[in-house]
A and B are shown apart, each in its own frame.
Chain A
């Protein structure tokens, strides 16, 4: 793996739904300025936004580190939330533990993790109950 061209860091506020999407929006702008293709930008933006929303809904926020390389964009989302009890179940489309309030906002359809998987080329979830979760995703610049 080559050295990153650019490294970006974001803190995600876990109490405020209204700022979710700021990190993914900022990364989208950076990738656009770098002349990255529209399809790659779309994949990165979708995966990052879903992960940001999950961090706000389930995990009281966290941090996102983005590494941009000539061949890939890697996004590492870390939180100190409750962890995911059953990752396989959480990956199933339609499975969600989101509250009614969150569902009324248009989330909690159980599409978050499946969307992240669908729009990234590599995805690794490391989770520990009561400690937190790391979602490490990479999109190739094909």
Chain B
């Protein structure tokens, strides 16, 4: 399933990085400690987090994740959004908790 299809199914709001919306999503990872995410997230994953600072884009780019989903209605910082557009890695937001997002994601990837 693609990033855009998952966003549609989960009712996510696109915040930035629209260019990457056609990419295929394979699996997911949840975490807010960036060192753990660096070591564990896999290429093509949907990454669910509550971190919004620009460092998430460096981690997303280096691990090659397909999309970032911000839980709890959070929005990316302005410089995070800028970097997301530059790299073409979409950042979405959801009002739901990380737990609820993952429960729904489980059946899609």
Given the known interface contacts A21-B62, A50-B35, A111-B36, the answer about A38 and B43 at a Cβ–Cβ threshold of 8 Å is: yes
Q: How far is the CA of A105 from the CA of B53 in the complex (A)?
A: 7
Residue of A28, A49, A106 touching B56 (CB-CB under 8 A): A106
Stretch at the interface among A7-15, A79-87, A112-120, A123-131: A112-120
B63 proximity list for chain A (CB < 8 A): 42, 45-46
- 0/1 string, B55-74, CB within 8 A of A gives 1: 11111011110000000000
Check A18/B35 contact, CB under 8 A, given A24-B62, A28-B62, A38-B43: no
What total count of A-B pairs have CB within 8 Å? 70
Interchain nearest-CB distance for B42 vs A (Å): 9
Closest B-chain residue to A103, C-beta based?
A: B33
CB distance from A56 to the nearest CB of B (A): 10
- Contact of A119 with B39 in the complex, beta carbons under 8 Å: yes
Q: Is the CB of B55 within 8 A of A105?
A: yes
Could you tell me the dominant secondary structure of chain B's interface residues? helix
How many Å lie between the Cα of A18 and that of B32 in the bound state? Answer: 17
Is the C-beta of B54 less than 8 angstroms from some C-beta in chain A?
yes
What is the chain A residue whose CB lies nearest that of B42? Answer: A42
Residue on A nearest B61 in the bound complex, by CB:
A25
Contacts of A49 in B (CB 8 A): 38, 58-59, 62
CA distance A76 to B39 in the complex (A): 20
Sample of 16 more A-B contacts, CB < 8 Å, known A20-B58, A21-B55, A109-B36: A18-B79, A22-B58, A24-B62, A25-B61, A25-B62, A42-B43, A42-B63, A46-B63, A49-B59, A106-B33, A106-B53, A106-B56, A109-B35, A111-B39, A115-B35, A115-B38
Top 9 A-B pairs, shortest CB-CB distance: A21-B58, A111-B35, A106-B34, A45-B62, A109-B33, A106-B51, A18-B54, A109-B35, A46-B38
